[in-house]
């Protein structure tokens, strides 16, 4: 079965400093991995996805993630945080069972201070 | 753009009531899913459907059932609502071709 573990429930950064949100995955097969963001009282928005092409995936709003098979990780990074990045972030793996449903991590809340 | 529409944004129901949450998608997607979202738990899969009249249990199906009589509509049913079913419910659909997923905006259900 596939699963993801987000290693931090809450991350706080200052505006202009780098962002690192950590995610480890477990999968018996070559995984498809995603990062979604949810701003307060808003819907889910896809940031980026990895589907076995390039291991470094670029997403929207300056975010990127690197797939590392040897470490079973898919960490999300951004060089310089902006106040508007404050939101909840979900690391997600696609299930190979369950109708290929998405399996979500528990989420990481990113706070950005000025 | 694909749209997934959930009929109610906010809903308040009484304990023991039968509750219907409706989800409609407009792009002929085969696969549809119901999740609930709770703080600190992320999104958890309740039920999914890969075709009309086909349904499968997800990770937390207890207390819920679903109906898919038409391809575009996937209903979540709380047979007898309880306070521990107070949550945000999200519907999603997926194309069988390009694996793009689309989420609805959610229904926040409060059971009192």
Domains and CATH numbers, chain B: 4-97 (2.60.40.10)
pLDDT at B98: 61
Strand pairing partners for A48? A35
Question: What is the distance in angstroms between the Cα of A107 and the nearest Cα belonging to chain B?
Answer: 6
Residue A53 has pLDDT above 90, yes or no: no
pLDDT at A52 (0 to 100):
77
pLDDT band at A47 (very low <50, low <70, confident <90, very high): very high
- Amino acid B27: pLDDT: 85
Q: Which residues contact B56 (CB under 8 A, 6 or more apart)?
A: A98, A99, B47, B48, B49, B50
Ordered per-residue pLDDT tens for chain B, 112 residues: 668 999 899 999 999 999 999 999 998 888 999 999 999 999 999 999 988 999 999 999 999 999 999 999 999 999 999 999 999 999 999 876 666 788 999 999 999 9
The domain in which residue A80 lies consists of 3-50+61-107
Looking at the structure of chain A, the number of domains it has is 1
Write the burial class of residue A53 (CB in 10 Å: 0-12 exposed, 13-18 middle, 19+ buried): exposed
Predicted local confidence at residue B19, as pLDDT: 97
Select from A9, A44, A101 the Cβ nearest to the Cβ of B33. A101
- Best of B10, B43, B56 to disrupt the A interface by mutation (most A CBs within 10 Å)? B43
The single residue listed with the structure tokens 């951004």 is: A78
Tell me: pLDDT of A6 over 90: yes
Residue A26 covered by a domain: yes
Cβ contact B42–A46 (<8 Å): no
Q: Is the pLDDT of residue A98 over 80?
A: no
Give the model's pLDDT for residue B97.
62
- Give the model's pLDDT for residue A2: 86
> Residue B88 and residue A114: Cα distance in Å, rounded?
31
* pLDDT at site A33: 93
Residue B42: C-alpha distances to residues A107, B38, B39, B89 (Å) = 6, 6, 7, 12
pLDDT at A95: 85
**Confidence bin at A92 (pLDDT 50/70/90):** very high
Q: Say if A55 falls within a structural domain.
A: no
Q: Is residue A16 part of a domain?
A: yes
- Look at residue A31 and tell me if it is in a domain: yes
Question: Which of A98, A101, A106 is the closest to B42 by Cβ?
Answer: A106
Q: Is residue A74 part of a domain?
A: yes
How high is the pLDDT of residue B2?
65
Q: Is residue A114 part of a domain?
A: no
Hey, what's the torsion of the CAs at A83, A84, A86, A90, to 10 degrees? -150
Planar angle of CA B7, B16, B14, nearest 5 degrees: 60
Nearest partner of A21 among A10, A32, A34, judged by Cα = A10
Residue A56 in domain: no
Instruction: Provide the CATH number for the domain around residue A103.
Output: 2.60.40.10
């Amino acid at each position: 079965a596939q699963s993801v573990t987000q290693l931090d429930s809450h991350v706080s950064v200052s505006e202009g400093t780098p962002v690192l949100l950590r995610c480890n995955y477990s999968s018996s097969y070559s995984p498809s991995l995603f990062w979604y963001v949810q701003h307060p009282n808003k819907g889910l928005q896809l940031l980026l996805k990895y589907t076995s092409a390039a291991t470094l995936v670029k997403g929207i709003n300056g975010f990127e993630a690197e797939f590392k098979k040897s470490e079973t990780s898919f960490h999300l990074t951004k060089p310089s945080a902006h106040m508007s990045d404050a939101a909840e972030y979900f690391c997600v793996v696609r299930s190979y069972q369950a109708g290929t449903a998405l399996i979500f991590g528990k989420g990481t809340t990113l706070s950005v201070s000025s | 753009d694909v749209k997934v529409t959930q009929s109610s944004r906010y809903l308040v129901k009484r304990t023991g009531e039968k509750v219907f949450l409706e989800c409609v998608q407009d792009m002929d997607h085969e696969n549809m899913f119901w999740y609930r979202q709770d703080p600190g738990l992320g999104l958890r899969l309740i039920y999914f459907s890969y075709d009309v009249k086909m349904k499968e249990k997800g990770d937390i199906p207890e207390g819920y059932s679903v109906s898919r009589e038409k391809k575009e509509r996937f209903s979540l049913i709380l047979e007898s609502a309880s306070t521990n079913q107070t949550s945000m419910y999200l519907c999603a659909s997926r194309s069988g071709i390009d694996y793009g997923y689309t989420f609805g905006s959610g229904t926040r259900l409060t059971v009192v």
